[in-house]
A and B are shown apart, each in its own frame.
Chain A
Amino acid sequence: MVPLDWYIMLSAVMFTIGLAGFIARRNIIIMLICIELMLNAVNLSLIAFSHYLQDLKGQILVFFTISVAAAEAAIGLAILVAVFRNKAMVDADKLTEMKG
């Protein structure tokens, strides 16, 4: 039997990589992808808990997490498109109008 801890550990590692990637990368598309990575890591952890605690609540939550993630990806990409139309580039550290 694979202990629960291993699954959680795996989930944590992926989450961490996603977090670091989100902070370190410049390209907005890659940042959105990292967000999806983080959300998926959390999904894994939820399913693992649901399996080991023999409770379906975790899986219900995964449903909603997935749907929200999809919605958020859509909106994020729409914003990205709008930004690209105005600025012709997608570097996150050049988008500093909210400075100050």
Chain B
Amino acid sequence: MLPQIIFGYFAIVMTVLSVLIVTRKNPVHSVLWMLVLFFHFAAIYLFLNAEFIAAVQIILYAGAVLVLFLFVIMMLNLKQEVSGERYIGEWPIAVALGISILLLIIFAITKLVPGPLGEYTIELIQKETHTKAVGKFLYTEYLFVFIIASLILLIAIVGAMVLAKKRA
């Protein structure tokens, strides 16, 4: 009973939060609501026995990406532009599209047939910690992909510097 109630709380709150994010006039408000949302995400990940991912979520998303957003907002000094129109003219299409895709996914969920169960049971993960399990899995089987991910981050760094540089 308890898990369902807790999940219910999370569901409602996260939905409301995401609506709030989307509809704020002030970008700073949006970013701050996003921060709250990320904490809720981390909590849900904890419920799903993925503590390492929860930690990464806080550190990376809440700690790096959001801060980046705030920096940019403050650098651009966008408060004057707040008076502009919030939505574009075609917003009903957006709502319609969204609802249709939602219905489609719901329909797909009802037909969902989960695949075969893997070997990493919760007990197994809890015996050695989640971090160790994920680490072992990542560095042996997915090593190549890991290195590519690091390359992607390298490109992002270089690209961001090149794009945002002030021309002399």
Contact = CB atoms under 8 A, between A and B. Distances in A.
Is B a genuine binding partner of A? yes
Interface residues of A, number: 72
A24 B21 CA distance: 13
Contacts of A21: 21-23, 94
B163 A66 contact: no
Interface in A1-47: 1-2, 4-6, 8-10, 12-27, 29-30, 32-34, 36-37, 40, 43-44, 47
B102 A37 contact: no
B94 A29 contact: no
Given A16-B98, A63-B56, A89-B81, A2 B86 contact: no
A62 B15 CA distance: 21
B101 A19 contact: yes
A97 interface: no
A33 B30 CA distance: 8
A16 B27 CA distance: 20
Interface of B: 3-4, 7, 10-11, 14-15, 18-19, 21-24, 27, 30-31, 34, 37-38, 41, 44-45, 48-50, 52-53, 56-57, 60-61, 64-65, 68-69, 72-73, 75-76, 78, 81, 84-88, 90-91, 93-95, 97-99, 101-102, 105-106, 109, 112, 114-122, 133-134, 137-138, 142, 145, 149, 152-153, 155-157, 159-164, 166
27 contacts: A2-B7, A10-B10, A13-B102, A14-B14, A15-B101, A20-B22, A20-B97, A24-B94, A27-B78, A27-B84, A29-B73, A34-B22, A36-B61, A37-B34, A40-B41, A44-B45, A47-B45, A56-B137, A59-B52, A70-B64, A74-B68, A77-B160, A78-B161, A78-B163, A82-B163, A82-B164, A93-B88
